[in-house]
Amino acid sequence: MTDVKVAILGASGWMGRVHTMAYQSFPHFFGTKGGTARVVALVSGHPDAEAELGFRAPGAKILRHWQEAVNDPEVDLIDICLPDNMHYEVAKAALLAGKHVFCEKPLADTAAEARDLADLARAKGLITRVGHAFPRNPVHDRAKEIIEAGEIGEITLFKGCQHIDVYGDPLAPYMWRADGNLAPTGIIGDTGSHVFSFMEFLVGRVSSLIADSYITAPKRPKIDGQDLGGAAPETTEATEWGDVTNPDGTNILCTFENGAKGIVDFSRVATGRKFLQSYEIYGTKGSLLYSFDEVNRLRFYSSADPNGRRGFREIDVGPEHPTYAAFLPLPNFALGYNETKIIEAAEVIRSITTNTPMWPTFQTGHHICQIVDACMDSARQRAWVDIA
């Protein structure tokens, strides 16, 4: 058994808490054969977080600055759960220090930065991972199996979306994710990248696209202590306002390298949609439909069925899939978001102990950043953009 020593940067935020839990939890489900993790350092810029962080990871060093973790010789893996604009600088420093790196999405603010990180990791022989957890739900492995077996034929059309409504109310409070300095790509890198990860995993690389992005409320009230999902103020008198400087939503048409077409949309302003995520994949012999509302279920249509008996059948992914079986003995007991992060943590540690990269690596993250770049460029130019 190999014990991988982990430092989590941004440990007091939502993702930092989830990642801490995932490293501690995965051996309970996947065992220790692929290695274990020990959280040896938690980094947070919040001076009042020390006691709470110490409770979450007993024995871990509680640090204020990410450089301390990167320079710590005890640390094997740097886990980055920091604001988007810090990903590149921190990941590059960690790679240069000889650390393996797990970075939440988006990998970087630009494709050029992502390319630099992917090249550096390859040159140093280090394991990398990007936090695209949604496709690690075993239901998407089943979708990939069906596609690769040719059961839906050649893919002709991908339709995908992801919507939330945290900014549906024009008075919903300002948050760092709306600041183009901290999150330069806005909803494209934040939410669009999730859809792009499904596209990359199931369909292939995108070769060109045209995108239309928009902001629904250019200013939002700043309210102390309120961030993602915060309630609108009862009054806006004498309120400080923040400028929204990155996209609230984007609509995309695209073409894949294999000739398939795509229609994609995502936003943070879809009032009433607390979390809508779905895709539809159409081929020459059949199709697949997925919705997060039925998180472990696929709908599969096959033209090979007898005429008059054709229709979408439901496939509930269950314990016949080893990843699902690690958690539950029966199908239709849903695996949720936190379980996908536990799966992700187990795969990251196994990648390190076996020196075997697993999807999605920084190479994958680079292509997804290329799509993000193309969306930003296309929306500015109001034109089709090719992806090299």
Euclidean distance between CA atoms 347 and 22, whole angstroms = 11
Give the whole-number percent of the chain exceeding pLDDT 90: 90
pLDDT in tens, 193-210: 999 999 999 999 999 999
* Bridge partners for 164 per DSSP: none
The residue-averaged pLDDT of 271-277 equals: 97
Query: Model-level pTM?
Result: 0.94
Residue 188 has pLDDT above 90, yes or no: yes
pLDDT in tens, 282-325: 999 999 999 999 999 999 999 999 999 999 999 999 999 999 99
CA angle 242, 247, 248 (to 5 degrees): 80
H or E element in which residue 254 lies: strand 249-256
Q: What is the largest CA-CA distance in the chain?
A: 68
Euclidean distance between CA atoms 235 and 224, whole angstroms = 14
Q: What is the pLDDT of residue 234?
A: 66
Residue 230 has pLDDT above 70, yes or no: no
Q: What is the pLDDT of residue 7?
A: 98
- Give every strand in the sheet of 385-386, ordered side by side: 313-316, 297-302, 286-291, 276-283, 155-163, 261-267, 249-256, 206-214, 385-386
Half-sphere exposure of 253 (CA within 13 A, CB side): 4
| Banded model confidence at residue 81, pLDDT cuts 50, 70, 90 | very high
Annotate 323-347 with three-state secondary structure: HHHCCCCCCCCCCCHHHHHHHHHHH
φ, ψ dihedrals at 91, nearest 5° = -60, -40
For 141-145, 168-172, 378-382, which range has the lowest pLDDT when averaged over its residues?
168-172
Extended beta strands in 12-75, E state:
36-43, 61-63
